[in-house]
A and B are shown apart, each in its own frame.
Chain A
């Protein structure tokens, strides 16, 4: 509403006779005015809570002090000491969870890129039904996580699930494995997350392939390159800038994801699939120890910052040498 009124003023203000001072917002300050709502929201939900989170990590904030957090006793670095003391149970569990998360993220990342790339390359040339295939591939990305992953939970049930039924009828297993507890739960998580993630890689890589000029393929073909040669010498080098962003985004999303493991296992996952976001959540809201939970979150943030900076720096150096 305010904007509409301003616009009307703007119309009269730009009439030749009106004095320039009525256009105060046109000079310099307009971009800042436009940014105010975004900055306020970012401050309220992201920046202030993040700073508060760093503050809380130095407090002994338990359920007792929750409604009056300023009274919580100062704890210094003791929350951090608890989190990284790898000879204690808490530290060991955190290290284990961190290791599991790294391995799971890297496997999902590799799989999602491979599936996405294969699908993007194979749908690059027009064929009958290509539109339908592309649409089909996007369905896992379009489905709400809670609905699709709860279906996976049903499919992975030992006695009533589809997965074991399929494996049994193909004679791939002798007895029905448990997929949601024990050793195999890790692979359940990897497969479900992969199912959810690869369509996004496909989407971005398809868009990236479309920006490669067709005459490059023709030139490679005239030089005698077959389909595989064209992929190796044209597609892969030219898709590199897209890969650089895509892999970082996929890494951060998978590493931080909460919805998939939470829907698959609930708030108490088997230790083989104890993903770090769930681990900290459980440490905070189940045992109501916000100080330690915040310290763990801050450590996680520092790790992600480090990974991102190193990745970007390496990418920049690689780009310069290329």
Chain B
């Protein structure tokens, strides 16, 4: 189709501006992480005058970054995998069965998504503190407490997305498997799950990314030994000095795997989201 010249120019200009806006923080993060401390404390320079890798070495000493990284990895992996398993079971029920309360369940679960986090945080904090007081079950300040919390956060969206994805898998597939002599759960595990892999991967990325970035609950429900990266990274700003080059190095280090994972798998994520949102 014919594209007028003004359209091509407008496209180049608008897309370039949006691209620069999108990428600017990444450029700053990358260059500042390679600058020595005096350079990030002076006026900003677009091109670093001295390059050093020492921020990437020092960042492990200034704060217990390794502990935070370990906490984040454990909490986010366990929470996202568990959340997807629970969501998959529920999504299968919602997608394949017409049972009493189906509508109530879907609406209730989805509506929790719109509630402000602070509304749950206060009571959850009080409940966790009192639970350890009364029963000795220690959820406050533990990884387990955070894992359960994060699992639940991603659950509504995960169920919604997975149910929409399962709807796109023809029911004839499970029926054929059932006729072949497998029960409904057998059909679910052998036929539906393999066919739903793209949707499952999408939800897994979504759940992991959500947990990896969560701050509100992490800032209240963790202590020094269970702190996650999202909260712990603030530790580079001490009373005397802000180690900006180390902050940028640490930010870059904990972002690269997430961004690369997201970009590699974005095709699945978009497919999963589209199945859920554009109907």
From A304, which residue of chain B is reached at the shortest CB distance?
B114
> How many residue pairs bridge A and B at CB < 8 Å?
312
User: A78 contacts the other chain (Cβ, under 8 Å)?
Assistant: no
Task: Check A195–B112 contact: CB distance below 8 A.
Answer: no
Stretch of B41-49, B56-64, B168-176 at the chain-chain interface:
B41-49
Given A41-B155, A46-B152 in contact, is the A150-B247 Cβ separation under 8 Å? yes
Query: In the docked arrangement, what's the CA distance between A221 and B4, Å?
Result: 13
User: A318 contacts the other chain (Cβ, under 8 Å)?
Assistant: no
| A 268-322 contacts with B by CB, 8 A | 276-277, 280-281, 284-285, 290, 293-294, 297-298, 300-301, 304, 308
Query: In the docked arrangement, what's the CA distance between A255 and B113, Å?
Result: 13
User: B residues near A, CB below 8 A?
Assistant: 1, 3-4, 7, 10-11, 14-15, 18-19, 21-26, 28-29, 32, 40-44, 46, 86-87, 89-90, 92-94, 96-97, 99, 102, 105, 108-109, 112-124, 126-127, 129-130, 133, 148-149, 151-153, 155, 159, 178, 181-186, 189, 209, 212-216, 219-220, 229-231, 233-234, 244, 247-248, 251-252, 254-255, 258-259, 262-263, 266, 270, 273-274, 277-278
Given A35-B89, A160-B42, A263-B215 in contact, is the A137-B230 Cβ separation under 8 Å? no
User: A216 contacts the other chain (Cβ, under 8 Å)?
Assistant: no
Contacts of B255 in A (CB 8 A): 143-144, 147-148
User: A75 contacts the other chain (Cβ, under 8 Å)?
Assistant: no
User: A94 contacts the other chain (Cβ, under 8 Å)?
Assistant: no
A241 to chain B, nearest CB (A): 8
Interface residues of A: mostly helix, strand, loop or mixed?
A: helix
From A72, which residue of chain B is reached at the shortest CB distance?
B126
Task: Check B186–A147 contact: CB distance below 8 A.
Answer: no
User: A48 contacts the other chain (Cβ, under 8 Å)?
Assistant: yes
Chain A 130-148 per-residue mask, 1 if CB under 8 angstroms from chain B, else 0: 0001011111101111111
Chain A 115-127 per-residue mask, 1 if CB under 8 angstroms from chain B, else 0: 1001100110101
B260 to chain A, nearest CB (A): 9
Stretch of A3-11, A102-110, A182-190 at the chain-chain interface:
A3-11
| A 212-270 contacts with B by CB, 8 A | 217, 221, 226-227, 242, 245-246, 252, 255-256, 258-259, 262-263, 266
User: A165 contacts the other chain (Cβ, under 8 Å)?
Assistant: yes
